[in-house]
Each structure stands twice: as C-alpha cells, then as structure tokens.
Structure 1
C-alpha cells in the first residue's frame, strides 16, 4: 500500500492468501474472493497471482492506479503561495484585513472604536458616535460645561448690546442712530464669535485626547484629558487665530481694492477668487489641529503635517468634512428651532415683536434659545471633533502605516 497521507491504492485490503494461517482452499470469511488452485507445472499460471479486488474482466484493460495528487504549495498568512507572483492565488480568494473572502479573512484588530485599517465614511461617522456613546462620562461634561458658559455669556451680550437695535428705518431715525445700531450688532456678533471660538478650542483640545485614547480602547477622565491637552492649548489658540487672521488678510487683499476703487465688478471678482481659495486652504489645513495636539508639534509644523496628509486626498477630506457639517447643521437646527419658536410665542410677543426687534432682547426668548443651543452644541461639538480626529488617524494609516503603531500601543499581539 501507498503510505502517503490521505491516499490509498485501489483495493482496500491485502489478499487473504497473504495472511498467515489462512488456508488457500477455505473461503474468505471477510467476504474476499477465494484463491484458486494453481495446477502444478502449468505454464499458463503465473507464480504470483494478483490479490483479490484487482482482477479485471476479460477484454477490459487494466485500470492504472490513480497517481497521487501534486503537493500543494505552502501558503502565507493571507492565502498567498510562497514565492509566487502577487495575484496568483490557489484556492479561495482572500481580501484585505477585515474584509470578506470565500472562507473569510482575518479581521482587522479593533481594540477601540475603529478597526485598525483604512476607514470608510461609515466607519468614521460610526466611530465618532461610538466614542460619544461609550465614553459619555468624559465627553458630555466637557461639552456641556463649555456650551453652558458660552451661551450664558452670549445671553448677556445680546441682552445689553442689542437693546437699542433698529431693524426698520423710519423718518424719525437718523443716520447716526442707524450706524450706532449697526455697530452694536457687529460688536455683539464679534464678541459672541470670539467666545464661541475660545470654547471650541478648549473642547477640541480635550476631546482630541479622549478620542485618541478611544481608538486604543482606553478610557480617559476629564482631568486626564485636561492634563494631556493643557501643554498644547496656547499653541492651539495661536493656530486658530493664525488661520482666522490669514483668511481676513486674504480677503482684504482680494476685495479691498474693489471697495477703494468703488468698482462693483472688481469687488465681485475679489469675492469669486477669495471664497474658493478660502475653501481650498481650509480643507488643506483642516487636520492641523489634531496634528498639533497628538504629535506635540509647533504651529508651523502642524500646518505642514496637515498639508502633507491631505495632499492627494483633498476631495475625500472635503466630502467627509462637508457631510459632517451638513449633518451637524441639520441636527442643531432640529434641536434649536422648537426652543426658539416656543420662546418667541411665549415671551417674545409673536411676529410683531420679531419685526421690530424687541423679541431678540426678551429674557424668555434669549433663555429658551440658549437652552436649545446648549443641548445642540453638547451633541454636535463632540461629533464634529471626533470626525476630524478619526479622519486624521485614517489618513495616517493610509500614508504612514499608523495602524501598526496603534496596535502596539493597544497591546495587540502579532498584528501585521
């Protein structure tokens, strides 16, 4: 018999005539064929007879034994034969880590909220929501406190800076009063925006640390997030102000000449050039904030890192950022609008008060609107910050193999 594993020659058992102690003239108790008597000296009979089970019928050619199968090539970890060209696979096809194949491929390691491999849009959005849901004890207090402080200050600013607001000009209103009203409006808007930016910087700094730990499957308390973010906080303020200042200077260079020349066409041309350029640079440097916080770099290095990570993927980063902004805007509007209309109807005096501007300074309207904004910002701010951090992580995985470093940091054994 052939002793190769998993293979046997035709004829399942040796002949009984080869068994010691078995007479040739007795029938086979196991159901085998009886060995016939060989006449002495008969030349037609061979000295060796084939064992039972290998006799062929007259006129039928003897079936040759089936050759053993060729040895299968050794395969690597993903089903790829060793020393074979890429793409020449035997057997089932396997996909990338975490993908699906005919027999299933090894899933990507997922120590935290995302799998450690290049991410899709749904995985980035789901990772942000999963972090908010899993680590809500750290995420919600940060955003809730910051949003509350921002909105309380905003209520007082609107109440006292917009009390003399004039919305409808009349014969009794002088040009000086109109300019004063416009100045009050712009001043209140500037103060609110400044407070909002400062609050966003604090939230972004702390949430970046929480999301970075959530990727590794680690929990982070509010105090730990503040301790990790505090050394880079001033640099993050400088980065934000530098981006705002750059946008204003670029607008001044492109639009101001048309204003000084009192040329409408030149003004429109300046805006047409300024807005797309502002959008392009905004996406190009959109990953500077997580790069600054997580790489402990300087402001200029953070800009360079963001530019490098976004290069070649501008449209993808733009699409994910725009979709995130759209989702956040719609969600915030769904939350804020009922509070604003309730405040307007219950305390603002209705549509007439809205027309003359008194509704915007009524305490009831301001307070209810602030409550709606607090709830909306508590939900929206961590969602947007989380998407930005995970987009940064995804771009580094795609370009720099960050998943290997993350796996080692998370304690995943034999990854990669």
Structure 2
C-alpha cells in the first residue's frame, strides 16, 4: 500500500496492511497519554462528495477533485472518476450526459456557436422570404363553384405550385444544414477536449470537407426518393383501387427501410468531417459504429428531435400569433379554405421567430449527433484514451503527433 498522502480517505484501511475490521491491540494500561501541542494545524477542508468543482476540466471532473478512496479509487472508495477535460467525461455516456454535453457546448462556446447558427439561419430565412415573395408564382385559387372535375384539376394545380415553391426553400435549408453541421461538428469536437475554437478556426477546418459533405447531403435525399419510387411503382403501374392499395403498402415498406437506413447512416456526417472520410467510406463507417446499437441511437435521435420540436414551437408560436394579428389576410384565407397568401410583414415576423428557434435547436441537434459518434467510438475503440492524450492529461502519454522528448 502506498503511503502517499491523498490515496486514502478518512476511515480507510491503514497503511500497515491490517484490515479495518481487525481491532488494533489495546494500549498498555500504564502508558502515558500523549500530550497535545498548544499550537495545532488548521482543520482539514473536507467536503462531501459531489460538492467539488464540477466545471469542465475541474478537479471533481477527474483531475484530483473529491476524496480518492483506498487503493487509488474514486470518491469514498468508488471507481476512479473518468477524466473530463471538456464538456463530457471520457467514458461511455448516458443519454442525459449526451444532452448535457450539447447544451454545455452551447453555453460555454456561445459566441462561436451563435455566430454560426445566427448567420446561417438569417441567410436561409432571408433567401427563403425573397424567393417566396418575389420569385415564386402565386398559388392558383380553387373556384368554389367549379364542377368536381374542375375542382380536382385546380387542386392538383395548386398542389403542384406549392411543391414547386417548396423546392428552393428545401434547397436553401439543405445548404444551411450543411454549413451548420460542418462548423458545429468542429466546435463540439474541440469542446470535448476543453479547447475553444473561433468561427474562423472552425471554418478553416471544415472548409475542405464541404464538397464531400455536400455529396453526402445530396445522396441521402436522392436515395430516399428512389426507395419510395421503387416501393410505389408496382401499384402505380397496376392502377385502379388495387393499385392504390399496393402503392400505399409499397410506400409503408419504403418508409420502414428509410427509417432503418437513416439511423444506420446517422453518424456519417461527423465521421466524414472528423476522420476526413469520403462519402461512401463515411456511410460504411457509420454502419459499423451503429451496428448493435441501432435501437439506442434511434431512441436518442427521436428524443432529440422531440425536444427540438418543442423548443421550436415554444419560440415560433408567439411570433406566428403576432404575425397573424399584424397581417390578418392570410388568416382570412385559411378560414375561407383558400390557399393563404401572406404579406411581407407576416413573413418577416415569422422569420425572426424561426431564426431564434434555429439558433437554439441547431447546436443541440448537431451536438447530440457529434457526441453520439464520439460515444460509439469510446464504446468500440477506446477513443477516450486517445482523447485524454490529445487533451494533454497527465498519465496518458504524449499528445498524438507530438515529438517524444529524448534524454540527454
């Protein structure tokens, strides 16, 4: 047993090798009691476990905080605490720790994170408003006095015009998601090591990966469209009532496959950015990391999506109500059953709400996705040891890539 101070907490086994359950021999009856000195050292500053510094990289996060138990254990004899140089402990994570790590990244590096999200959100909203207001044709109105055949044709024309106007918005949203994913992945990966990164630094690291990430971002929706087309094609070719039922069944089967593949490839983006992988290599990498944890990753993804949706609703609904109060023409169209035509003021007010909601939800969803990737690599590849070395923690060896110090 090492007698170095700090190895044992109060009440632990003595260093002479005797067990604490074995009583010590009684002192002789004629022994002279020890006399206390008039001057005593100040009392020790003992604290209850859990009251130490819990800031990222602080002592209680695995760098000397709390009271190490006997035999070098953790607080009060428990397992040794995991190193925590940044926003997460370097060990397999629970869902609460993943969400907490994403929120902590937003809170700790808010300047860089908000610079990314607010810039991208403002760009996408302004572009969407300008395209929708000035470039897209107006949606055809449905004549309430039209015959059933004419009403069906007008409804199809209205639906086609709505889908055409939705295309540029989806394209802009895809570009915005591409940029935020690349930049925030870099920010989160640095925050795990306890390092700060500026917007310029994140851009320098993410910029070479943007063409590959664009290919991945385009490939996934195209694959989804192909799956649905293949699933519905037999029913469309048959036609009639039986064809419609067959097309619906094909669409449901395609949906199941799409959900399965979406989770299987959920970690492709962080693998592409952080490991410098190509598009297909990142898809294969994600499939290997997700294998055996599909249901867990599905649950965390759905929970994150639900939380992001609730935050968006809490933020966006008040702005939508204000927009309806200020510009009520679109609301009147909704009540009459006609396709609404919203004014520019309505679009501006709702756009402000969307920017605020996106600035909050983008970092959380991107942070959870990146931390899920790191968690899976910790579980499968002991990435925590590499991260500890990269963070420069003592006892883990030199940082990867650093030159060894040679003796004189």
Give the TM-score category using the shorter length: 0.7 to 0.9
Partners of 2:297 and 2:195 lie apart in 1 by 27
The Cα shift of 1:243 comes to: 1.0
Partner residue in 2 for 1:221: 198
Which blocks of at least 5 consecutive residues in structure 2 are unaligned? 1-15, 33-68, 398-408
Counterparts in 2 of 1:404 and 1:353: CA distance versus 1, 3 Å? same
Counterparts in 2 of 1:241 and 1:10: CA distance versus 1, 3 Å? closer
> Superposed, which structure 2 residues align to 1:224-263 within 5 Å?
224-262=201-239, 263=243
The reply on whether 1:149 has 2:165 as its aligned counterpart is no
Partner residue in 2 for 1:211: 188
8 Å CA contact 1:124–1:391 kept in 2: the answer is: yes
The reply on whether 1:276 has 2:256 as its aligned counterpart is yes
Larger Rg: 1
- CA displacement 1:105-125 (0-9 Å, x = unmatched): 321100000000000000000
Partners of 1:244 and 1:358 lie apart in 2 by 27
The reply on whether 1:346 has 2:326 as its aligned counterpart is yes
Partner residue in 1 for 2:57: none
The reply on whether 1:366 has 2:347 as its aligned counterpart is yes
The Cα shift of 1:351 comes to: 3.6
- CA displacement 1:290-337 (0-9 Å, x = unmatched): 000000011111011100000000000000000000000111011111
8 Å CA contact 1:360–1:366 kept in 2: the answer is: no
Task: Give the SS at the match of 2:79.
Answer: coil
The reply on whether 1:300 has 2:280 as its aligned counterpart is yes
Counterparts in 2 of 1:161 and 1:340: CA distance versus 1, 3 Å? farther
Task: Give the SS at the match of 1:361.
Answer: coil
Partners of 1:255 and 1:11 lie apart in 2 by 90
Alignment match of 1:336 (pick from 307, 311, 316): 316
The reply on whether 1:288 has 2:304 as its aligned counterpart is no
Partner residue in 2 for 1:12: 28
8 Å CA contact 2:120–2:180 kept in 1: the answer is: yes
The Cα shift of 1:154 comes to: 1.0
Partner residue in 2 for 1:71: none
Partner residue in 1 for 2:376: 395
- CA displacement 1:11-50 (0-9 Å, x = unmatched): 83999xxxxxxxxxxxxxx9xxxxxxxxxxxxxxxxxxxx
8 Å CA contact 2:232–2:246 kept in 1: the answer is: yes
The Cα shift of 1:166 comes to: 3.7
Counterparts in 2 of 1:399 and 1:351: CA distance versus 1, 3 Å? same
- CA displacement 1:122-158 (0-9 Å, x = unmatched): 0000000000000011000111011001011111222
8 Å CA contact 2:141–2:154 kept in 1: the answer is: no
Partner residue in 1 for 2:106: 132
Partners of 2:182 and 2:110 lie apart in 1 by 17
Structure 1-normalised TM-score?
Answer: 0.74
Counterparts in 2 of 1:172 and 1:213: CA distance versus 1, 3 Å? same
Partners of 1:311 and 1:164 lie apart in 2 by 47
Partner residue in 1 for 2:393: 412
Task: Give the SS at the match of 1:105.
Answer: coil
Partner residue in 2 for 1:54: none
Counterparts in 2 of 1:118 and 1:167: CA distance versus 1, 3 Å? farther
Structure 2-normalised TM-score?
Answer: 0.76
* Count of residues in correspondence between the two structures: 335
The Cα shift of 1:344 comes to: 1.1
Which blocks of at least 5 consecutive residues in structure 1 are unaligned? 16-29, 31-91
Partners of 1:247 and 1:94 lie apart in 2 by 55
Partners of 2:222 and 2:276 lie apart in 1 by 23
Partner residue in 2 for 1:187: 164
Task: Give the SS at the match of 1:182.
Answer: helix
8 Å CA contact 1:344–1:359 kept in 2: the answer is: no
